[in-house]
Structure 1
Amino acid sequence: MNTIIYVRQSLDRDGVGAAVERQLTECRALAVQTGLEIAHEYVDNDVSASKGTRPGFQELLAAIKAGSVSTIIVWHTDRLYRRVRDLVELVELAEKHALRILTVKAGDLDLNNAAGRMMAQILGAAARYEVEQKGARQVAANVQRANAGVWQFSNRPYGYERVGGKVQIVEPEAVVLRDAYARYLAGESYYSIVDDLNTRGTMTATGKPWSITTLRARLRNPAYAGIREYKGEAVAQGDWEPIITRKTWDEYTRLRTHRKTPHDWSNKTKYLLSGLALCGVCGGRMLARPDYPRNGVDRPPRIAYACTAKWCTQRDQERLDGLVEGIVVARFSQPDVLDLVRVDQDVAPQEAEALDLRRRWDDLAELVADGTMRPAAVREQSAIIQDKLARLQVVIDNARGGSTMTDLALASDTAAKWESFGLPQKRQVISSLFTVTVSKQKNTRVFDPNDIAIEWLS
């Protein structure tokens, strides 16, 4: 039968294991005093006894079950067990094996008799009480810090760092965040922003490429607006400098609840004029699709805009995009370009009304479920709500389009500014300026700009 030392430390702050080394030193000294020879030492460093898995403890239990342990030396019983079920398991094993526990700080325990088991239970209850009191104190301290606007974090959030105990802005990362908020408010999707960040080689705080999930989580953090939350509720103004204004935060939170569908890698529009270009024969909308070679021609498929309603006409995507983008840049290079730009308007009332309509729309399903309204009446109300939403969305989109066009009109380099826009911004400008109608091609082997009709909107 062997003597085993077991030591554990819940939190190793500096990662050097100094606490467990001190326990080992004192446990070894106790073994020398009692004339015991140590057969093995089990160590659990940076592991809690009240939660999680302790590999060293599990190995110790296995050794006891194998009948190779007679005495366990620990610094204190709370290093060995805090949970009742751990003590119960030790007691059950002690009934099968002669097991004694020697401690540096709490005396000896013999689990083979009633007095020893009672003392073990008392010490375990005291340890559990200490854990619960410590947890209560931590919760109270967290609430107090939150109400005081203090931001506690263990992993550095993107855009901030802690210097001398104070949270400070990391300006290069703050620039990325402000740009991401602005682009989202201008109509870009998370997909488009992430794609651009990764194309430019911009990394996250952990040095990894961006993902939609990561960007969404960052932008939804109210701390960037200086808001201190506790358990999902805003409790105070933070004591750190915000990266964005409260107005930007309010606009972002309002807008993201209005998006019709979440944008991800699969449902994003990938081509400039997809759904915007019109067929000159039937008036249907043209969508981007692969144009495969015919008659044995050896070339990879190209992307073309095609009338998918009746397959009336088709046009090469790159050439049509180039033509339309050239028209936009040329128009915004003219001296009277400011005549195109609408005066920015506050669309907060329209957005609030749209949000209310969407909530009413959601409530209709419940009214059908509980029998308050008949399906026919619900369909009628749904049509009314959808019509109002469509009209409100036009006002909102036009206002945002006007903001983008203002930036383009005031740019010193029109072409460069246009290239800096994301796909949603470009589509927004085009849809606000003119319609693109594609006539049936006279010569299918030649791209003729005269077959493309541009009708400017008033």
Structure 2
Amino acid sequence: MATTKKAFAYLRVSGRGQVDGDGFPRQLAAVKAYAASHGIRIVQVFEEKGVSGTNELADRPAFMEMMTALHANGVRLVLCEGLHRLARDLMVQESILHDLKRHGFELISVQEPDLCSDDPSRKLMRQIMGAFAEYEKTMIVVKLAGARQRMKKKTGACEGRKPYGYFEGEQVVLDRLKSMRASGATYEAIAATLNSEGIEPRRAGSKWHAGYVHRLLTRG
């Protein structure tokens, strides 16, 4: 009888507004469909909530948690929906793939399952796709900057999003985040505490997530 291969699923959305959208369900459905057709059992799902695809490994709480789990329990395979879910920066993409392979782990992008190998032609295609993903991300940033400039010319002001802590009541919450973190609380525990107490993030109706807490506490 064939042994079922175990795997972790890695999902990522870049914006806080996407956390409660269809991004995670869509990605998980694609990963599960691939796993079911290839005799793979997903044993744990890691969700990177509100983390940019240009972020390095150290700025990805869920990915770092997954790496710890990979080293701890014998799972050697990671599935993700597509390489753009892994990263939108070519250097970050290749760095992550190199780090996984260096430790003996395998990553499969279910949309491009044969692109993560070291075959020269597949590596070239993967890097071309990574470059396009990086270009797409850059163009989004450029378009947003252009829109802000047009708004500034039209209205005389366009200051962009205010950092958390700017509005009334936010600094108190921010100070509490820092205090809990200094006491040894994990980002997940901090988020869970705020949610249990009914303290809302800036966007009404949303929930605190580990990725958001991490960004607030590590921003420059």
Interval containing the TM-score (normalised by the shorter chain): 0.5 to 0.7
**How far is the alpha carbon of 1:65 from its aligned partner?**
5.0
Q: Which runs of 5+ in 1 are unaligned?
A: 157-203, 210-458
CA distance in structure 1 between the partners assigned to 2:96 and 2:55 by the alignment? 16
- Which of residues 104, 110, 130 in structure 2 aligns to 1:97? 104
Question: Which digits, 9 at most, give the CA deviation of each residue in 1:158-197, with x for residues without a partner?
Answer: xxxxxxxxxxxxxxxxxxxxxxxxxxxxxxxxxxxxxxxx
Q: Which runs of 5+ in 2 are unaligned?
A: 172-220
Identity of matched residues, %: 24
How do 1:246-285 residues align onto structure 2 when only pairs under 5 Å count? none
- Name the CA shift for 1:116/1:42 in 2 (closer, same or farther; >3 Å): farther
**How far is the alpha carbon of 1:93 from its aligned partner?**
3.1
RMSD (CA atoms): 3.1
**How far is the alpha carbon of 1:9 from its aligned partner?**
0.5
Task: State whether structure 2 residue 14 is matched by structure 1 residue 10.
Answer: yes
Match of 1:144 in 2: 150
- Name the CA shift for 1:208/1:39 in 2 (closer, same or farther; >3 Å): closer
Structure showing greater relative contact order (alpha-carbon pairs closer than 8 Å, 6 or more residues apart): 2
**How far is the alpha carbon of 1:40 from its aligned partner?**
1.4
CA distance in structure 2 between the partners assigned to 1:208 and 1:90 by the alignment? 38
Q: Is the CA contact (8 Å cut-off) linking 2:9 and 2:46 kept in structure 1?
A: yes
Match of 1:39 in 2: 43
Greater Rg, structure 1 or structure 2? 1
- Which of residues 73, 77, 99 in structure 1 aligns to 2:79? 73
**How far is the alpha carbon of 1:43 from its aligned partner?**
0.4
**How far is the alpha carbon of 1:207 from its aligned partner?**
4.5
How do 1:378-393 residues align onto structure 2 when only pairs under 5 Å count? none
Q: Is the CA contact (8 Å cut-off) linking 1:99 and 1:112 kept in structure 2?
A: no
Match of 2:129 in 1: 123
- Which of residues 59, 82, 85 in structure 1 aligns to 2:88? 82
Query: Which residue identity is paired with 1:128?
Result: E
CA distance in structure 2 between the partners assigned to 1:138 and 1:10 by the alignment? 16
Question: Which digits, 9 at most, give the CA deviation of each residue in 1:69-93, with x for residues without a partner?
Answer: 4332212111112231442242243
Task: State whether structure 2 residue 66 is matched by structure 1 residue 60.
Answer: yes
Match of 2:168 in 1: 206
- Aligned with 2:16: secondary structure? coil
CA distance in structure 1 between the partners assigned to 2:12 and 2:136 by the alignment? 17
Q: Is the CA contact (8 Å cut-off) linking 2:31 and 2:80 kept in structure 1?
A: yes
Higher helix share goes to which structure?
2
- Name the CA shift for 1:30/1:109 in 2 (closer, same or farther; >3 Å): same
CA distance in structure 2 between the partners assigned to 1:208 and 1:45 by the alignment? 21
CA distance in structure 2 between the partners assigned to 1:76 and 1:54 by the alignment? 17
Q: Is the CA contact (8 Å cut-off) linking 2:53 and 2:88 kept in structure 1?
A: yes
How do 1:195-234 residues align onto structure 2 when only pairs under 5 Å count? 206-207=168-169
Query: Which residue identity is paired with 2:95?
Result: V
- Name the CA shift for 1:15/1:151 in 2 (closer, same or farther; >3 Å): farther
CA distance in structure 2 between the partners assigned to 1:27 and 1:125 by the alignment? 23
Question: Which digits, 9 at most, give the CA deviation of each residue in 1:378-403, with x for residues without a partner?
Answer: xxxxxxxxxxxxxxxxxxxxxxxxxx
